[in-house]
Every structure is written in structure tokens, then in C-alpha cells.
Amino acid sequence: MDALLADLRRTLRERFGTDDENRVDAALRMSRRRVVVPVRFHAISSGRRGRVGPSTVRRQISTLNAAYGGRKGGVDTGVRFRLAGYDVTDRESWFWHPQRHEGEMKRRLRRGGPGTLNIFSAAVGTDMLGFSTFPQWYRGEPRMDGVVVDYRSLPGGSNRGFDRGYTAVHEIGHWLGLMHTFENGCEPPGDGVADTPYEAEPATGCPSGRNSCPQRGGDPVHNFMDYAQDACMREFTAGQGRRVRAAWAAYRAPNRRAKAVDLRTEPTTRARSVGGAR
């Protein structure tokens, strides 16, 4: 995680002349640049099993827009998603073993550049519901970029407790540059975001009143970047929104010429530290 955060700071300095995410975010907001992510959805099947239909895909896109738009109870991150493509591939080996065949699957199906989100649905498993690349990895392995989720975790799926489409919300959080809320446990810098409280271990189910670290703030069990069940998840924080927008500007935004940020410009908002100094 330290290497990922260091790479983000270095890339922001190279592109904008500062690694202050508040100032970068303020400059981007003044330029009225919106983050609209085109999504290419690849349903992997084994015969009829896993053959995700277009209506389910549209529901997943709506779920993403609601979660990242703050309509579930958290902040509006400023990110929106637009379905740009949908296809079904009947390949038994890919369907049952997406990790083993990840490279072959992605090289064959993936489309677009760093700002195009490729989602693959398959039988990932029950212990692990999905996996994702980070934006920092794109330069080294662009053809491996994307998110893989278990088809049973999509809205209306059969995975009880994880059937509202929030697995994709969580994994796309990684694709946009977010870490788990329980990263580093109670040790600084936690997940590297100032307003997500420290958390000693992942949440399971939907615990109430849990406070596993001595720093200020209860555990962020309702955060989409934790491991709670879908019924418990509902929010991103303002700091996570800024991190997503900064990572997008650094790694995934269209290749426009970046302008240096005026270091005298004060950001429009500041993150309030809930979990202590990070």
C-alpha cells in the first residue's frame, strides 16, 4: 500500500505540480470536469450457467451510480458510470476458474484505454467474491486492467447476503484507487484516507457499535470498502471521493495536457480527520 500511495503522490506532482489532493480536486472542480466511466461488461458463462442478461447488467450500472452518487447514504463521489458494451462468452474453463485464466480472458475480451472499466462476471467463488487491478498498475500491464466479480453477487443474484451488486461497487473502488478500510489495522496510515476511521480487522455480517482501534471514531462497517454484507453497506466518505477523483486525474483521465495547480489556491473543502492523523 505504501508503494501505491507513493506512486500516486509522485504522479500527481508530475501532472499537476503538487501532490495535495485537496488542491488538485479544487482545480478539477473549477474546470468542471466530470468523471463519467464507460463500462464494458463481459459475462462469462458455462452453457446457461452464468449467462447474465442485459437487464441484470443495467441494474448493476444503476447500483453503481446510486452508490457512487451518494444515494445510499454516503457522499456523492462525483463519479458516474455509462454502459458502453455488453457481451456473453461461453467458455467453461474461464467461467469456473477466472483467476487461473485471467490473462487469457482479459487479453481476448478487454476493450478501451485506462479510463474504460471492463467488468467480467464468472464463478469467482464464495470465499472471495471478486478481484480488481489498481490504477497504478495500468502502465505496467494495461491488458490486465479490469474487475472480476462473481455472477451470483450481481443485483438479484443467488449469493445470500451478497446479492445487491455491492461486490462490484467494492471492487471498482479498488479500480478507482481505494484501499480496504481495515488496511494496516490500527497502524498509520490506515487506508491512507483521513476520514475513514482505523479498523483492526474486516467486518463480517453487520456488527453494531464496533470500535476495534484506540483512535477516534467507530469502525467504518457501513463503508463500501469494508467486508460487511451488502445490507450493511451504504457509503463512501468525502475523503474517499477526493482520493478517487485524484487517482482518476493521475492515471485514468483522457490524456489532456495537465496544468500546474496554483499552490496559493485554497481547496473548496478540507477532509476532517476522524481516524486520527494519517
Q: Specify whether the backbone of 192 is left (phi greater than 0), alpha (psi in -120 to 50) or beta.
A: left
Assign 24 to helix, strand or coil.
Answer: helix
125: left (phi over 0), alpha (psi -120 to 50) or beta: left
Number of Cβ within 10 Å of residue 270's Cβ equals 12
DSSP 8-state symbol, 252? I
- Which are the contacts of 252, defined by CB distance < 8 A and separation ≥ 6? 114, 115, 135, 138, 176
Q: How far is CA 75 from CA 51, 67, 86, 216, 274, in A?
A: 33, 9, 29, 21, 15
Q: Which residues form the catalytic set?
A: 171
> In the numeric block, which cell numbers belong to residue 88?
456473453
Dihedral-angle region of residue 276 (phi above 0 means left; psi in -120 to 50 means alpha; beta otherwise): left
